[in-house]
Structure 1
Amino acid sequence: MTDPTPSPTSTSTSAPAPAPAPAPAPAPSPTLPQYPFPVGPFAEPPEEYAALRAQCPISRVRLPSGDSALLVTGYDEVVAAMADRRLSRAALREPGAVRTVKGEDFSDNPYNLLNQEGAEHARLRRLIAPAFTPRKAEKWRARVEEIAHELIDRLEAGPRPADLHHDFAAVLPVWVICEMVGAPVEDRDRLHRWTEALVSITAHSPEERLAAREESAAYVAGLIAERRRNPSDDLLSTLIAARDDDNDRLGERELVWLGINLLVAGHDTTVGAVVRSLYQLLRHPGQWRLLTEDPELVTAATEELLRYAPPSEIGFLRIATEELEIAGTRIAPGEGVIPVMHAAGRDTRHVGRPEELDITRSDAVHVAFGHGTHYCPGAGVARMELQVAFGVLARRLPTLRLAVPPEEVRWLGGLLTLRPESLPVTW
């Protein structure tokens, strides 16, 4: 036992040693790692994330634009960054701000909900919140199940191997969001084409991204005009009628861009989550068998798959508006910071055996829907869609399996979300 009596040379009234000053952010280097990183084998997260988490959860990388930014990969650090109001999406529009890509992209649009901060962002969130309550999500569950069953009917009637990506995962979310928003389902191919360009990092040119933005805006403006003439029980009609304190309607541009947000963000990330999760379930046949034998596991399986196989490996860039510190690293005003929420789910400080897929686990922590003021407003709807997709497939096609070796499935890069060229399956 240690003797608590002070030694002759010590004093109990000495001031504590000052805390060490935070380390400055890593300085730029001509040999910085190029971000985004290549996807790992079997669509696993880039191998660089694990190394960066182990060495330093905040590291500097080079972006496709040529600018550098700080990459945040640890769970605690990602949560801290996403909650910090001094890291701003709106500041991306300031002259000379760090950019992900050269030329215009979705970060330049001030009407995009993701790019807003402060009181205006809170106002818009408040106006759309009633459309995304848990009760609203559950109201749609039966209809989503009907759509899933119809798609599986088509799979069973078609040739084998079937393409589970193009004929199921890529169709279910866009069909659902079209019905929810009030867009004709037959327009889903156009919506898919615009979405591919709008969420592009390096797969499309600036001109293609701008054209998609203009075409989709004109399309949604037409839908709004039609709903004003003929209101219906859909999200667009709800948003047209939305008021804040009974006097503040959404403006026309706000309506258009909320409509685009719903149609694009409302299905693209869900497509990525569905197809990537199904690939991982089928790549781990023991986990798929567990789900087919116990359908009650679908809720836990959904959370584990969001942790293990989130829809993207790319984080959204933010700009520091003043000096701040995260995990002992000092971040200067004007620095670009990318909290990679999809890297956080493999943090060994929070998840045991993070490299293993286990749909029975109880520690499936993740931030796949974000954190803080930009937490995804449609998270409840997305969770419901994932649960339906996995649950209905497990009941209808319990012998579902990959029709090719897992390593032969090719994954597309350059987009915000991760998806395969095709996902051949049989049963």
Structure 2
Amino acid sequence: MSDATPARLDEYPLPLGPLAEPPDRFGELRDKCPVVRVKLPSGDTAWMVTGYDEVASAMANPALSRAALREPGAPRVISGPDFSDNPFNLLNQEGADHARLRRLIAPAFNHRKARVWRPRVEQIAHEVVDRLEAGEHPADLHRDFASLLPIWVICEMVGAPVEDRPRLQEWTDRLVSITAYSSEERLRARDESAAYVAGLIARRREEPGDDLLSALVAARDDNDRLTERELVWLGINLLVAGHDTTVGALVRGLYMLLRHPDQWRLLADDPAILDHAVEELLRYAPPSEIGFMRVATRPVTLGGVEIAEGEGIIPVMHAVGRDARHVRDPEKLDLTRTDVKHLAFGHGPHYCPGAGVARMELQVAFGTLARRLPGLRLAEPPDDTKWLGGLLTLRPERLLASWK
């Protein structure tokens, strides 16, 4: 029994702090014990990692494996099937196959592609704000802006009909569930989304387009660089992961900005700080408080804690932005700070391949709202906003705002 194992284990995931702040316990653990054993919803235990240095080390360590989660007897976050069981999910792959699939999708999400896509994303953002202004007032920024823009963008990028957005969002909610939905609902979403993407693939074979799915179909059919199941699951990965975390980052960032109206005014008055502002929001208000578990394939030492082969490790990459070892006055939201440090897009082999496009979307979204609706403000007290639990990303039931 390590000193990092308290008599009473914290239950993972930890509850959010007031006003959608990170769990208060994160701060205590970072200072005293950044690697600590926790109890999972399944009843298993794992090591939760919350310090910046320790999380970065864990995410880069090849001995901590996502693929090993499928081994018999491996610890589980939840009882019953979940997305970690799927060997075709990009997040669950490692080694040569993982590198091959990342190489196939990387050109679609690099910084050059983000520049190419930016004008179209700006058009979509303005259209969404047009609808916002013409709709109900106060408006629900979650439903009518933060949830709408990223899924519209990814539908166009991948080549899915924009009118299919509601179905895609429903499947996403279930696929990224930890405890919000049952195993049966998650499996049904998996099967339905797979059938949907298979249908898109069939249409792209008949009528190729200038979209990412058409390019992947060509890679599969012309060069045999993909199996059919890999092709289907890459499509699902892109449609789900390609927008869900952006929704979380956008809605949580908006909430925090409007909770700090001086910072919102700063952004509205000085668009030159936009890029810095996005990085500070990713540090201060990342899209989740959840980490993706790995399994130790050999004994490792992390943060001075000895972890045995076969034990689970959860590096919570979203817990590190307030690590006082790296950020001055980390509890303060400051869009002008220059010491921003975060791991919102991960680290190591599983660093988010879509980080460039995601950053661009967030810059466009926050920038468009700040220019078009500089008087934006919360339409109800901040503590009246209810945040949904049991999902990989954070989102409110609604986020009411006014600007008139």
Match in the other structure for 1:328: 304
Which residue type is aligned with residue 235 of structure 2?
Answer: G
Shift of 1:127: 1.6
Shift of 1:79: 0.2
Match in the other structure for 1:249: 225
The answer to whether 1:55 aligns with 2:4 is no
CA distance in 2 between partners of 1:276 and 1:107 (Å): 26
CA distance in 2 between partners of 1:361 and 1:146 (Å): 30
Match in the other structure for 1:192: 169
Query: Contact (CA 8 Å) 1:25, 1:330: kept in 2 or not?
Result: no
Query: Contact (CA 8 Å) 2:220, 2:228: kept in 1 or not?
Result: no
The answer to whether 1:41 aligns with 2:13 is no
The answer to whether 1:376 aligns with 2:345 is no
Q: TM-score, normalised by structure 1?
A: 0.93
Query: Contact (CA 8 Å) 2:220, 2:231: kept in 1 or not?
Result: no
Alignment deviations for residues 64-123 of structure 1 (CA, whole Å, 9 cap, x no partner): 000000000000000000000000000000011000000000000000000001111111
The answer to whether 1:210 aligns with 2:187 is yes
Match in the other structure for 1:66: 43
Query: Contact (CA 8 Å) 1:144, 1:176: kept in 2 or not?
Result: yes
Match in the other structure for 2:380: 404
Match in the other structure for 2:313: 337
CA distance in 1 between partners of 2:348 and 2:193 (Å): 28
Query: Contact (CA 8 Å) 2:5, 2:36: kept in 1 or not?
Result: no
CA distance in 2 between partners of 1:162 and 1:133 (Å): 34
Shift of 1:159: 2.3
Shift of 1:242: 2.6
Shift of 1:412: 0.3
Alignment deviations for residues 292-319 of structure 1 (CA, whole Å, 9 cap, x no partner): 0000111000000000000000000000
Structure having the higher Rg: 1
CA distance in 2 between partners of 1:357 and 1:343 (Å): 15
Backbone CA RMSD of aligned residues? 1.3
Match in the other structure for 2:293: 317
* Greater share of helix: 2
How many positions carry a matched residue from both structures?
403
State how 1:94-173 maps to structure 2 within 5 Å.
Answer: 94-173=71-150
State how 1:216-235 maps to structure 2 within 5 Å.
Answer: 216-235=193-212
Query: Contact (CA 8 Å) 1:131, 1:238: kept in 2 or not?
Result: no
The answer to whether 1:264 aligns with 2:240 is yes
For structure 1, list consecutive stretches of 5 or more residues without a partner in the other structure. Answer: 1-22
Which residue type is aligned with residue 332 of structure 1?
Answer: A
Query: Contact (CA 8 Å) 1:241, 1:249: kept in 2 or not?
Result: no
1:304 to 280, 294, 302: 280
Q: Which range is displaced more, 127-136 or 371-380?
A: 127-136
CA distance in 1 between partners of 2:228 and 2:6 (Å): 43
SS in 1 for 2:11: coil
Q: TM-score, normalised by structure 2?
A: 0.98
CA distance in 1 between partners of 2:153 and 2:85 (Å): 28
CA distance in 2 between partners of 1:257 and 1:211 (Å): 15
Query: Contact (CA 8 Å) 1:24, 1:331: kept in 2 or not?
Result: no
Shift of 1:379: 0.4
